[in-house]
Amino acid sequence: MTTNPVESYAAIDLGSNSFHMIVANWADGRLQIIDRMKDMVRLASGLNEKQELSKESMQQALECLQRFGQRIREIPQLNVRAVGTNTLRQARNSDVFMAQAYQALGHPIEIIAGREEARLIYSGVAHSRFDEINQRLVIDIGGGSTELIIGRGIEAYCTESLYMGCVNMQQRFFDDGKIKAKKMRKAILFAMQELESIEVAYKKTGWDYALGSSGTILSIRDVVQAQGWCDYGITADALARLSDELIAVGDSELIDFIGLPERRKPVFASGVALLCGIFEALNLERINISEGALREGLLYDLIGRVHDADIRDKTIMVLTQRYGVDIDQANRIRETAEHFFRQVRNDWELDEKNDLKLLTWGALIHEIGLSVAHNQYHRHGAYLTANSDLAGFSRQEQLKLAMLVRSHRRKFPTEEFEIIYSAMRTQIIRLCILLRLAVVLHRSRSNNRLPDMRITVNKNRINLEFPDKWLNQNPLTSVDLATEQGFLQAADIKLMFS
């Protein structure tokens, strides 16, 4: 009997309150968690009034990432994924931190959108508490945001991320550490106000039971059960009693509940207020608890990518359907772009897994802007790609994909590539060139197959060779290539064809 080799994976969640890392082995279709690391960095508290991270908060975060990096040094690059959430979405100087964080961890860090965070949280919960029958509401209170998701099995139907978490709520309502009845009620009402926009829709969709995940809710569960106020999960009565007890204590520094870590105390009252607001707005009587959360969802998503079950492929196909893409034309361009890619990947040092995927996706959706208007449709498509909620994609991935869509025709926008992280800029420009050439060659939108073409490259020099007399027999294509030659020459890229 043979068994598949053990593969090691790591998922890192750079949350607004805590950084988490889990390391796991995958073998024979089973996941085994072998290590967990956590540090309550409280990154959100490092944001100043200009929404910039302080040097002190960044330094503490970098020290944590260095420890994480040492632990996963031997794990292959493709088997590690690190994501940042709300605080890094908000921070105006996140690029400065991200560059240093890359060096500290030894792996790139992606920033994910709120709804993508919600999707991954639900995936982590769903894989930790498998249930194909019941519809579930999942609640996750983080340091800077709160996610609420409704789903069944492993599929999420409703995903929302609200800008309220235990850290920013603490700064807003309990900044002096005092816990007063009026402050508590104001915090609860604020949470309910934030929930107003989704309350009716969520109640209409409905759920069979509710689950809570992550540190804030787990800490509340530990306290109310240690006090004997409920036997499992968190009940509305136990939560109300906890709120009253906190008001009676009156000061975060004096909180002394069994099972509550010292570093959780400053943000505990705000977390309780937030959960009270959710209970009240959604008429909850009890929530159960899931040990799975964002990092577990991240891990399963990563394994899916490695083993060709990538949610991003499904997202791209949904996008083509939503915007009525001419899929025959998209596939013609995809095939030609992939053909070129395989000929130049070594000389241009392109990655078979990541770069080819990006090029394929770009080919499939490059015309989605036509759903807005034909004029400047490449710009419309780039906007849709960069600003849509795309399941499985990080902010950086969407920007790179948007640049492919933006740059597939007309003037080559060299200056706009500045938004791409410098280490990846050359690769994206080269992928754009391959997509542009494929688009030019299929401008007629004909079903006739192209001849066998040979492409060779040397840095910014590209040579495209056709069979003898083919260009003479296809003068329009020759003219189109000459026009493209001019566009590329303006960007210091030399295209030769014969």
Per-residue model confidence as pLDDT tens digits over 449-495: 899 999 999 989 999 999 999 999 999 999 999 999 999 998 899 99
pLDDT at position 60 over 90 = yes
The reply to whether 97 and 140 lie within a common domain is no
Residue 304 lies in a domain: no
Instruction: Give the per-residue pLDDT at 65.
Output: 97
Instruction: Give the per-residue pLDDT at 29.
Output: 79
Mean pLDDT of 248-275: 94
The reply to whether 237 and 365 lie within a common domain is no
Each residue's pLDDT tens digit, 97-110: 998 999 999 999 99
Instruction: Give the per-residue pLDDT at 476.
Output: 94
To the nearest whole number, what is the mean pLDDT of the chain? 93
Residue 211's CATH number: 3.30.420.150
The reply to whether 262 and 404 lie within a common domain is no
Mean pLDDT of 124-128: 93
The reply to whether 160 and 172 lie within a common domain is yes
Instruction: Give the per-residue pLDDT at 2.
Output: 45
Residue 421 lies in a domain: yes
**Lowest pLDDT segment from 37-46, 188-197, 426-435:** 37-46
Residue 391 lies in a domain: yes
The reply to whether 285 and 335 lie within a common domain is no
Residue 479's CATH number: 1.10.3210.10
Residue 226 lies in a domain: yes
Each residue's pLDDT tens digit, 222-232: 999 999 999 99
The reply to whether 355 and 442 lie within a common domain is yes
Each residue's pLDDT tens digit, 289-301: 998 999 999 999 9
Considering 112, 129, 159, which residue would you say is the last residue of a domain? 112
Count of domains observed in the chain: 3
The reply to whether 426 and 462 lie within a common domain is yes
Tokens of residue 153, six digits: 């099995």
With tokens 């235990």, the residue in question is: 166
Residue 302 lies in a domain: no
Mean pLDDT of 143-147: 94
Residue 305 lies in a domain: no
Residue 37's CATH number: 3.30.420.40
Considering 54, 77, 112, which residue would you say is the last residue of a domain? 112
The reply to whether 448 and 399 lie within a common domain is yes
Instruction: Give the per-residue pLDDT at 242.
Output: 97
Mean pLDDT of 47-61: 92
Considering 112, 133, 151, which residue would you say is the last residue of a domain? 112
Each residue's pLDDT tens digit, 20-47: 999 999 988 788 999 999 998 889 889 8
Residue 192 lies in a domain: yes
Residue 2 lies in a domain: no
The reply to whether 459 and 489 lie within a common domain is yes
Domain of residue 372, residue span: 310-497
The reply to whether 148 and 213 lie within a common domain is yes
Instruction: Give the per-residue pLDDT at 352.
Output: 86
The reply to whether 77 and 153 lie within a common domain is no
The reply to whether 153 and 288 lie within a common domain is yes
pLDDT at position 163 over 70 = yes
Mean pLDDT of 353-358: 93
